[in-house]
Amino acid sequence: MVLTEDQRRRYSRNTMLEGIGGDGQRLLLSSHAAVVGCGALGSIVSMYLAGSGVGKLTIIDFDTIDISNLQRQLSFTTSQCGRSKSAATADRLREINPDITIQSIDRLLTKANIGQLIGDADIIVEGSDNPATKYLVTDYAVSSGIPYVIGGVEQWRGQVMSWTKGHKNYRDVFPESAAEGGYTPCALGGVHGPLPGIIGSAMASEAIKIICRCGTPLFDRIMLFDAGTMTPMVVNI
C-alpha cells in the first residue's frame, strides 16, 4: 500500500514514531477493529482509532444517548439525547476521518450473533458497562483467536488489560460470575467524569500497539489506575 499525499499529511505524527513508521501506518490502514460499546470508553477509543487511521471500524452498541451520559461521554451533545449511540458515534468518526470505513451496529451483542457482528475483525476492543458482555467477548476472542483489549471504570478507579494467544485472559483474572467481574457499573456506583478519558486512551494505545506490533502491550498484566490519588499501577497476572 502506497500512502497518498493526503494520508502522508494526515498520519505524519504516526509515521514519525519509532515502532510505527510507514509500515505500521499501512498495518493500521489495512486493519479492522470492532469496538464493543460506544459509551464513555468506547467513544474515546473509537475516536483515537479513527484518527490514527484504522482502516475499518465496526461500532456495536444497542443503547441510546441519555443526558446522564454527557458528564463523561463528550463525543455526544445534548441535542443528540435519545439517538442511537452507535449511529451518533459513526457520524462523529466520519467527521474525524473520512479516509476510513465506519460500520455502526445498533444491536445487543449476544452469544448467538457475536460471530456475525464481529465478522472479520483483526482486534476487538471491549468497553461496555456490562460485566456479562466482557465475559462474552472474552470467550469469543479466545475461541476465535482474535486479540482483544478490555477495560472498565467505576467511581474513581479503572483497569485495562490486553490478550492474544498464549497469554492470560479476563477470565483468568476474574474467574467467577459476572457479578464478581471486578467493578460496579457506572449506573449503580457513579464514575469520575475524566476517568474514562484516561482509561479509554490507554485502551486505544493498546489496540494501536497490537495492530502495529510495537511497544509492550499489557499481555499477562493489568493496568490499574486510581484517579482519586492519581496512582497508576501495573500488576503481573
The CATH number covering residue 59 comes to 3.40.50.720
Of the residues 38, 81, 186, 214, only one is catalytic, namely 186
6 occurs within a structural domain: no
CA dihedral 1, 33, 203, 77 (to 10 degrees): 110
128 occurs within a structural domain: yes
Taken in order 183, 187, 191, 196, the sign of the CA dihedral is positive
- Give residue 9's pLDDT band: very low, low, confident or very high (50, 70, 90): very high
Return the pLDDT at 131.
87
Whether 38 and 86 have beta carbons less than 8 Å apart is answered as yes
Q: From CA 6, how far away is CA 25, in angstroms rounded? A: 13
60 occurs within a structural domain: yes
Residue 109: give the domain boundaries. Answer: 27-236
- Give residue 130's pLDDT band: very low, low, confident or very high (50, 70, 90): confident
Question: How many domains, in total, are found in the chain?
Answer: 1
Whether 58 and 32 have beta carbons less than 8 Å apart is answered as yes
Catalytic residue list contains 186: yes
34 occurs within a structural domain: yes
Q: Both ends of the chain: CA-CA distance in Å?
A: 38
Average pLDDT over residues 134-155: 96
Residue 183: pLDDT above 80?
A: no
- Give residue 178's pLDDT band: very low, low, confident or very high (50, 70, 90): very low
Q: From CA 215, how far away is CA 218, in angstroms rounded? A: 10
